[in-house]
Structures are given as structure tokens and as C-alpha cells.
Amino acid sequence: MGIEYFVGIDIGSTCAKTVVMDKEGQILHRLLRPTGWSSVETAASIQTELETLGVEADRSTVVSTGYGRAAVGFAAKNITEITCHAKGACHIHGTDDLTVIDIGGQDTKLIAVEHGQVTDFVMNDKCSAGTGRFLEVMANTLSVTPEELSNMARSGGGVSISSMCTVFAESEVTGLIGKGEQRENIAFAVIDSIVKKVASQAGRLKMDQKVCLTGGLCGFDYLRERLSSVLHCEVCADPDGRYAGAAGAALSARDSYLKTLGK
Amino acid sequence: MADYRKMWEDLGMDMENHDNLCQVLPTAVGDVFLSQENRPEAMDFWDLVISEVHGIRPAELIEAQKEGRKVFGTFCVYVPDEVVIAANGIVTGLCGGSQFWVPDGEKVLPKSTCPLVKASVGARLGRTCPFFRIADMYVGETTCDGKKKAYEILGEDVPMYIMDVPQMKREKDILKWKDEIAEFAKKVEEFTGVTITAENLAKSIHIINEKRKALARVYNCRKSKCLPISGRDALLMTQISFFDDPERCAQMCNRLADELEERIKNGVSVVSADTKRILVTGTPLAVPNWKLHNIIETSGGAVVCEEMCTGTRYFENLVDETKTTLDEQFMALSERYMKTNCACFTPNTGRIDDILRLAKEYQVDGVIDCSLKFCCLYDTEKYAVSRALKDAGIPVLSLETDYEDADAGQLRTRIGAFIEMLS
């Protein structure tokens, strides 16, 4: 029995994404689950789920990525999320020249891809400013979901948060709530802070080509619109954007399989 | 392992805390060095030295002190060893490269000080490093604001002499540095009671030149596509060379170079052919800081050169040995030292030229420019470095880190992605 399934597993800090592809690069399955406290256990439960879906281990080749990539014991190879996001985003957006903005749970990265090759990238430092985690903490403080926060921000304005640090920004938001500031305005300030943080990173990268947003926030239209306006370019998104890393890993699995066939 | 406890006690060290340090080092050495395959046999010398880093050499220094010799502790490749050695003195490096010493440094320094400075001050004040206890005099220099202010604090605890390094490289600055060297020579004579003559200075200039040539020979072998030594091993050699007797250092480096040259002839490489060749540049990696090299070399890369003070800046350029008067010799020393391209100078385009040249000579696939946190000088130069490299078509990754392990995962991702990018 030959290899039929190409599995990419992207264990992020918040969510674990899995993509199963066939030989033609068509996505057969998308799985999403919270990473939880143990990447190893998450990887094991993904393995079980794959078996249930009929994606048998002996007919699959697996590549893992993301911050928990080393925890996927059954992966043939692990590749960094930078390479995988770039590859996956190019596939999803059908282009080889692309700048990817990936807002993840723990880090934000901007990746320039030319002719299908990563040529440069920037990542935020170890603090969580401008990441999904930042948004999540602020949404909790405002008792809304991150998506509601993004929608709410559209009708707000006039307020800004100066702290980049999530912990300090949270106290700043609490202070604003205490002063009786409207929730929409605080939500605006939160999105504004993320957008500015991304924009400062973008200053160091090639931006004069197609730009896309991937990661867990790619469906947040208002965030994307604000990014477009601050970066002076249209930032596009695809519903599969949050699977970009996993798709890139699956494509890498497929590439190495095709390479071995070629030999 | 020999028992050095009595020696450490006599040095007034904090035994309990020092034991904690001694416990973690063997594991680190095992993980970083001994786990490597196919290492050059001549690394046995450095394995031995690092396994008893707070024992063997400190014991030698104490013996020398008993004979009346003075030990000078230094923090920078701008301080001329030749002057000290001419007066029968001994030079030992003092830079701290471990997180272990940082908390003691933070007791007196702002947190936003570079970890090298914090660790160096912590090692002295916490009494957990024998070299910091043994040195009779510390010789500082004005190569960064953090060190300048830290020296004021150290000076309250130990005799401290400061050399004023110029900030530019005009003709008058080279003359000024010559005067600084001459003044330092006076201080050394006073402290050691030995007169520096053209004869003993010529001899020490020769000794240090031979050491530089030996280090350069090892580095030269790293230019080969058939890489005979890992970056980690080469880094260890360089780091230890700051502490060792210069003549033995030259002898051991030459012995290693003999083996490496033989390896190249026989096609013996420590890495597979698809390993990406990396030049690292930036702030120094003081012993036992092996974090960057270790991550690079366990992520599909090999470090083939360090454009650093713990690297090419330490041994490139020789002092003219043909001069016969002290005045001419001081000038020759100044001219050699002023060729070292440190980010404390402005402008510092020479460093960019060095990086571009080294990238070519060492046939590198990419450059990693890494500075220690809060080092404003090297951090700021990253902009010009990365622009020049990009213009030359050489991929570059800029990083900032400290001595903590907290960012190891993020560094591994960045470095891993960079190496994937080179494939």
C-alpha cells in the first residue's frame, strides 16, 4: 500500500491545526482543537482522530510545525512555522509572491515570499504585544469574545492604549473601564494597538506585493481593514488562512514524497 | 578532578553558591560539546581546561603570584596584553558569560544593563569566580557606557585602571591611543616593579603575534568547504584563549591546526554536505555562553566564523615587530589595535567591510547578526549591517538575546526558519 495522505500538523500556542491533503494537493480534512496544556497529548489525540477518519498511519506521511512541533512523535520531519506558513499561504492564495502577516496566539510574524521562497521574515520579541493572546486577554477584560471585540471596535474611536506589554495594557484597560469609557472605544484602542505593532514590524520588510493575513484572526474583517489602511495596501484573507501553517506542512510532506518518487 | 576547595576558600569565595555553579557546568559541557560526533582529538586540551575551568588555570595564576608576578584582569580586546607581559605580568580575561552571575550584578546595576556587564560585576561582588578574586588589578576601558559606569562600582572593591579608548579613528585618535598605551605601560611598571624595555616589549609583541597567528591558522581551516571543526569547538578554543598562557595557547592552537589541516587533506568533515555555513557577528560570547552556537548547530547549520571580539577581532592584524624603540613600539601597538572594528567607534564602516570580506572568505550561506540585550551600539549597527549584506545578496538574520534560556524556543524557530530559507 502506498502513501495517499499528506498530513500537516501545526501545534500553536493556543490551537492545534491539522490538514490532510491528497496527492493533488486538495485539502481532504481540516481539524482544529485547542492545544491545551500538553502538546504531546494533543498530538496523540490528533493521531486517534486521523485514524477514525480513515487516514491510516501507514498510508500517511506527516510533517509537524508550530511551537509544539517537536512534540509530534509520529511526524517524519518537523519544519518551522515560518517556512510552513509561507508555503501554505502561497498555496491558499494561489501566488508565489506574497507577504504573509500571521497573527498567532503567542507571536506575530511577517514573512516575505518571492518566487515561492522565503526571502525575509520578522517576528515579535518574546513578549505578547500585538498577538492573539493580547487580544484574548483584552477581550476577557471587556467580557466579550475576540471576534466581538473586533466588530465592536468599528464603532469606537478616540482612545488609545500606550502600553505594549499585555499585563500593563490590561491594567490600562481596567483603568479605562473604571473611568466609565465606552466599551467600543476601548475595543478600538485594543485593535489600534495590534495594528500599530504589526505596522512597525512591516517597516522592515518588503510590502510592495500581495499581502495576506493568516492565523486565528484572519476572519476578523475590521482588523483586516485597519491593517489595510495603516499599511496602505489591501490585506486579503481566506477562510483557510488559519490552516496556512498546517497546509504548508502537508505540502512539505507531499513535496518530500514526490521527491523520493522522482529518485 | 583535583580538589580545589582549599584554594577557593583561601580566595574568599562564596563556597555554597559556587558549588551550585560547579554542579551545572558539567551537564552544559556534556550537552553542548561532548555530545558532538567526530570531534578533533586535539580538543582534549580544551575539554580538560573547561572541565576544571575554576581549578587548573586559577591554581597556576596563584603559583605565579607566589613568585611575585602580578595578574591583570581585562574586559576588552583593546587592552594590549603585550604591555603587561613585557613587565612579566599575566593577563586574564574577566568577561562573565553566564546567567548565574546576573542576579548578583543586578543588585547594584540597572536591569536594563547588558548581561555581560551584569554578569561580570556579579561574578566579582558575588565572589563566585576565582579569576575575579585572583586578579590583582582590573584594567577597564571606555568602549561602552554600561562598562564605564560599572567600572566605577567595581573600582570600590578592587584596584581599577581605565584606558580611554578613542571614539573615532582619525590620525590624532591613533596618536591618542598610543599615548594611552604609554601611560598604561607606566602604570604596569609601577604595579609590577618591572621596567618595560624595548627588548622585553619586543619579546612580548612576538609572543602575542604568535598566538594570533595560531588562532588564525585554526580559523583558516574553517574556511574549507570540508569543515574539520564545529563552531562550538572553535568558540571554546577562542574563549579559553583569553584565560590561558599565551605561549601554551599558541602551541595548543597550532597542534589543533595541524590536525585540522590533515582532516581537510583527508576530506574529514564534522558535518554533512548540506549543512548551511553561518557567519555570526555581533557582541562577544563570553565563556560559558554557548547558546547561539548550540542552537545554530542543532538546527541544520554550522558556525564557520565569528566576527566578534571572541573571534576574528581578537586575532586579526599583527603588530609590526620591526620597531626598536619604545616610542615606535607603542605606535605600532596603537596602529594594530586601532584596526579592530568595534561598534563603539563612529563611523564604523570598517566592520561592514570585515563582515562582507569574511562572508566571502569563509564561503558562508548566511549571516546571523546577534547582539546582547541592551547593547545599544551593536543593536543600532544591525541596520547598516543587514542593509549591506542584503545589497551583496547575502541572507542575514538579526537577533537579540541574553543569557537566559527563556527565549531558546523562539530563537530556535527563527534560526531554524532562517536555515530552511537558505536551503
Q: Which ipTM did the prediction report?
A: 0.89
Looking at residue A116, its pLDDT comes to 94
Does the beta-carbon distance from B417 to A118 stay under 8 Å?
yes
Determine the pLDDT at residue B55. 96
User: Any idea which architecture A5-85+243-262 has in CATH?
Assistant: 2-Layer Sandwich (3.30)
Amino acid at B236: L
The reply to whether A128 touches chain B by the CB within 8 Å rule is no
Whether the CB of B408 is below 8 Å from some CB of chain A: the reply is no
Residue B141 in 3-state DSSP?
A: strand
- Domain positions in chain A are 5-85+243-262
Would you give the DSSP letter of residue A13? S
Q: Pick the closest to residue B305 from B422, B223, B416 (CA basis).
A: B223
B15 and chain A: CB distance < 8 Å anywhere? no
B410–A81 C-beta distance less than 8 A: no
Q: Is the dihedral of CA A33, A38, A40, A45 positive or negative?
A: negative
Considering CB atoms only, which of A81, A117, A119 is closest to B413?
A: A81
Give which of B115, B133, B126, B409 is closest to B289, Cα–Cα: B115
Asked if A117's CB is within 8 angstroms of B410's CB, the reply is no
Cα separation, A83 vs B247, in Å, equals 48
Residue B290, all three cell numbers: 554557548
Query: Do β-strands B137-141 and B71-74 pair in parallel, antiparallel, or remain unpaired?
Result: parallel
B25, B34, B17: which is closest to B1 by C-alpha? Answer: B25
Mutate to test the interface with A, among B421, B422, B423 (most CBs of A within 10 A): B421
* Closest chain B CA to residue A123: B414
Q: Side chain identity at B134, as an amino acid letter?
A: I
Contact A123 B414 (CB under 8 A): yes
Task: With CB atoms and an 8 Å threshold, state whether A118 touches B414.
Answer: no
Domains of chain B, by residue range, sit at 5-422
- 423 residues of chain B, pLDDT tens digit each: 578 999 999 999 999 999 999 999 999 999 999 999 999 999 999 999 999 999 999 999 999 999 999 999 999 999 999 999 999 999 999 989 999 999 999 999 999 999 999 999 999 999 999 999 999 999 999 999 999 999 999 999 999 999 999 999 999 999 999 999 999 999 999 999 999 999 999 999 999 999 999 999 999 999 999 999 999 999 999 999 999 999 999 999 999 999 999 999 999 999 999 999 999 999 999 999 999 999 999 999 999 999 999 999 999 999 999 999 999 999 999 999 999 999 999 999 999 999 999 999 999 999 999 999 999 999 999 999 999 999 999 999 999 999 999 899 899 999 999 999 998
Tell me, yes or no, if A263 comes closer than 8 A to chain B by beta carbon: no
**Closest Cα in chain A to B420:** A83
Query: From CA B286, how far away is CA A46, in angstroms rounded?
Result: 44
* B387 reaches A (C-beta below 8 A): no
DSSP A63: E
Q: Is A177 on the interface with B (CB under 8 A)?
A: no
Q: Where are the beta strands (DSSP E) in B102-253?
A: 137-141, 160-163
Interface touch B413/A123, C-beta < 8 Å: yes
User: What's this model's pTM, rounded to 2 decimal places?
Assistant: 0.94
- Chain A residues lying within 8 Å of B406, measured CB to CB: 126
- A216's grid cell: 486565528
Angle at B189 between CA B82 and CA B195, to 5 degrees: 85
Cross-chain Cβ contact A125/B413 below 8 Å: no
Of the candidates A118, A119, A126, which has its C-beta nearest B407's C-beta? A126
- Sheet with B301-307: strands ordered across: B301-307, B276-282, B366-372, B396-401
- C-alpha–C-alpha distance, residues B192 and A220, integer Å: 72
pLDDT of residue A263: 59
Closest-CA distance, B128 to chain A, in angstroms, reads: 30
Dihedral of CA A82/A84/A87/A90: which sign? negative
Give the closest-approach CA distance of B421 to chain A in angstroms.
6
Confidence of residue A127 (pLDDT cuts 50, 70, 90): confident
Kindly report the backbone phi and psi dihedral angles of residue B259, in degrees, each rounded to the nearest multiple of 5, phi listed first: -65, -40
**Contacts of residue A67 in chain B, CB cutoff 8 Å?**
409, 413
Nearest residue on chain B to A87, alpha-carbon basis: B421
Compare CB distances from B420 to A67, A79, A125 and report the shortest one's residue.
A79
B417 and A80 in contact by Cβ < 8 A? Answer: yes
> Measured between alpha carbons, how far is A226 from A241 in angstroms, rounded to an integer?
18
pLDDT (0 to 100) of residue B263: 98
- Strands A211-214, A98-103: pairing is parallel
Would an 8 Å CB–CB cutoff place A123 in contact with chain B? yes
Q: How far apart are CA A65 and CA B413, in angstroms?
A: 10
Question: Nearest residue on chain B to A127, judged by CA atoms?
Answer: B407
Which chain A positions have a beta carbon within 8 Å of B400's beta carbon? Answer: 125
Interface residue of A120, A127, A205, A252 to substitute, partner B, most B CBs within 10 Å: A120
User: Does the N-terminal peptide bond of residue B288 adopt cis geometry, omega within 30 degrees of 0?
Assistant: yes
Instruction: Specify the 3-state DSSP secondary structure of B372.
Output: strand
The enclosing H or E element of B308 equals none
pLDDT score for A126: 63
The grid cell for B6 is 582549599
Distance from CA of B173 to the nearest CA of A (A): 35
The arithmetic mean of pLDDT across residues A190-196, rounded, is: 93
Whether residue A204 has pLDDT greater than 90:
no
**What confidence category does residue A124 fall into, taking pLDDT thresholds of 50, 70 and 90?**
confident
